[in-house]
Structure 1
């Protein structure tokens, strides 16, 4: 039995609205049959209508879910009634990239919404806004499944000591190696963090694309996390860093990325990454239990190539990640994993920050990441900037 959590730590559980509970209709897969692998149907979320429903910060109730796709027309033809007032509500259906939302104008005191229409009738419970928890905070935010708790703790410590993070929001997506309670208890022991929320996110991650570019159309879960976090928790945060547990943001100038983005007029910084790798014959051995970020400091050197015969880019670069100020992102722009959709200023890439992507801080859930390379001075280098950052972190506090 877990011990009581510290006062600044809480586990959040959601109340989904599922299609099988009130209608025979299902979300239809957008991917052509010939492009689906054997596991596609099992991993596709055909049944979740809404992940959650809650009071937003703009005077509306927000219902967030996977994209509505074939269900959109039926939802637009639905009548939404506020309860207990029985007031009929105006609403807007928003279909975003791999994500759907309904924004409802409802009277104060609304406890639930009744949806009646072509799909049938469902009552949706409304949760309170939680933006006050993170108001004015510098928040470290991610989604995780089965990452070692030690890795997650080190990820928090790094951002705390290097950038001044003082709050953590993490969505646990069906981890089966530990419980949300285990994770919350472990995070609560880290010094210097004022607010921690672990969201139990039980939904399907969704099928990945075929390769880097084709058929990225069905991985709904993470897109849902990013917008749910934004609208239920983070809209009043001072700034938010979106990254994975295997990523550290480096600052050559020593300036906090939170401080830097808070000074940006458009409120967003995007930056590319480099892989940090394991080397043949060096400790820790591939896959060794207990390995940590601080065990690795070798990166691949940049490999410049020409794109379109004009642009020179690093062929080994990792896709961009971002840190942003929520209040400066337009309401209709979409928080996504590598970009801010519909927000032109966020397309600019800064060179003042970059991140390091630790290949062996992983359980290889997506693909095998334990392959080693022989050290080659023409191809590899000890990343002194990374080593200096690692030396500045209090890893056991």
Structure 2
């Protein structure tokens, strides 16, 4: 399987004899799949194939066939993320929380061009987390892509993350027991005490999706100090829901963060595409559960996208103290 950004105007150059197996140089049959900001070429190659030769418009390139590493995560409950320059303390806390409350026992961590530290720093941060038995840190050295104007407009060329999701799905996670997809600044809370992994595993289709709430820094907290790292457990304030109606009918929370999801990979159809906020082309994955809600920490961030360190003046009409978050942190600290 060859993965990458869509071929766009290069697609007409992909001919029936464009792909050959090495050694031997035999022509390989293939099929081309167009997905959202992503493409896949599924090649029928012989068992002894070590590399593929790809020719487009007279230009030829060779690519080695990478090892299938899915057995490494077989039967595991895996945390999966893409990250750049997140503080190692945050990475460790994120993994510890997921193990404590959801039973995560493995981490697949894609590092996207961090320049504050090397991959070994991430490995060291994860190696000290009790209960995380496997941690794979993968270099993903590609430009992220344009950010658009808002959550919906002009996110048309951010190929990086969707490519990482599909590569992780097929190379590492195909045999995983279940996979939770999220960011370092997100912690999933359960309203019933049930693990989000268990919820996906028990679901008939094998997936659960849940919305998020923003966790903010306010003037109730000590001022930000460059010498003291911020921690998830320092925060207790969220934005209150702000109801609006989409199309004048559907009730929505305008302050909510877009949904995230957990899935059992082997139950996810091949035609579905793993995305950031949804699994596309798979109707059961559109459901949203009320049993889980993740917390999205505004200040647990390296400001790679925009400045998220502006403090709010606490306003009871806008903010509320998050008792669920406080109780989770209390139980965590008591362990």
Segments of 5+ residues of structure 2 without an aligned counterpart are none
Instruction: Tell me the distance in 2 between the aligned counterparts of 1:161 and 1:241.
Output: 14
What does residue 5 of structure 1 align with?
Answer: none
Q: Distance in 1 between matches of 2:63 and 2:308?
A: 42
Task: Select which of 91, 94, 98 maps to 2:30.
Answer: 91
1:393 CA drift (Å): 2.3
Select the residue among 237, 256, 265 that pairs with 1:326.
265
Residues of 2 paired with 1:154 and 1:379: CA distance? Answer: 28
How far residue 288 of structure 1 moved from its aligned partner, in angstroms, is: 6.2
2:215 is paired with a residue whose SS is: strand
TM-score, structure 1 normalization: 0.81
Equivalent pair of 1:74/1:119 in contact (CA under 8 Å): no
Q: Deviations over 1:294-314 (max 9, x none)?
A: 000111111112222222211
Q: Distance in 2 between matches of 1:234 and 1:156?
A: 18
Q: Could you say which residue in structure 2 is the equivalent of 1:134?
A: 73
Equivalent runs, 1:9-20 vs 2, <5 Å: none
Cα 1:211–1:288 shift into 2, 3 Å: farther
- Secondary structure, counterpart of 2:290 in structure 1: coil
2:249 corresponds to 1:310: yes
The CA deviation at 1:211 is 2.3
Q: Which of residues 166, 172, 176 in structure 2 aligns to 1:227?
A: 166
Question: Paired residue for 2:325?
Answer: 386
Length, aligned pairs only: 335
Counterpart in the other structure of 1:18: none
1:71 match: 10
- Does the aligned pair in 1 maintain the 2:16–2:29 contact within 8 Å? no
* Residues in 2 aligned to 1:114 and 1:190: alpha-carbon distance in whole angstroms: 42
Unaligned runs of 5+ in 1: 1-61
TM-score (structure 2 length as normaliser) = 0.96
Does the C-alpha gap of structure 1 residues 197 and 284 become closer, same or farther in structure 2, counting only changes over 3 Å? farther
CA distance in 2, matches of 1:76, 1:385: 57
Alignment of 1:191-230 (within 5 A): 191-230=130-169
- Of 366, 369, 374, 2:308 maps to 369
What secondary structure does 2:107 align onto? strand
Farther off after superposition, 115-124 or 349-358: 115-124
Instruction: Give the one of 145, 155, 159 matched to 2:98.
Output: 159
Q: Whole-Å Cα distance in 2 between the matches of residues 129 and 368 of structure 1?
A: 39
**CA offsets 1:184-203 (integer angstroms, 9 cap, x no match):** 12211211111110001111
* SS of residue matched to 1:234: coil
Equivalent position of 2:210 in the other structure? 271
Deviation by residue 1:156-178 (Cα, 9 ceiling, x = unmatched): 00000000000000100110100
